[in-house]
Amino acid sequence: QSALTQPASVSGSPGQSITISCTGTSGDIGTFKLVSWYQFHPGAGPKLIIYEVNKRPSGVSDRFSASKSGNTASLTISGLQAEDEADYFCCSYAGFATVIFGGGTKVTVL
């Protein structure tokens, strides 16, 4: 299993929208509707922000949205805010009761 591919960094100005891609294979993202996204703030426990491709847990801002097409999933943050500055990781079910994560993307709010 190779890690899902994410850009190392993405940046945007407050109010803008940014999109983080997460590329896998036909053995994970391409087959299963089981992509999730996590936000990591330094010093805090990781937080689930998207599950099952595009569902938001209760309490997560609707500025976070996600989708997938083929072997690539995407997370969009709209109306970027300073508090969105964090690391973001994607994750996909990869069959045979295993999961695989991405390498992570550092989001910087300029």
Partner 1 sequence: QVQLQESGPGLVKPSETLSLTCNVSGVSVTNDTYYWSWIRQPPGRGLEWIGYIYYTETTGSNPSLKSRVTISLDTSKNHFSLKLTSVTAADTAVYYCARFPAGSRWFFDLWGRGTSVTVSS
Footprint of partner 1 (CB under 8 A): 1, 3, 6, 32, 34, 36, 38, 43-48, 51-52, 57, 89, 91, 93, 97-104
* Alpha carbons within 13 A on the beta-carbon side of 89: 15
Strand partners, 38: 48, 89
Smallest gap from residue 17 Cβ to partner 1 (A): 24
Smallest gap from residue 73 Cβ to partner 1 (A): 13
Structure-block tokens of residue 19: 């999109």
Residue with tokens 């690391």: 87
CB of 17 or CB of 41, closer to partner 1: 41
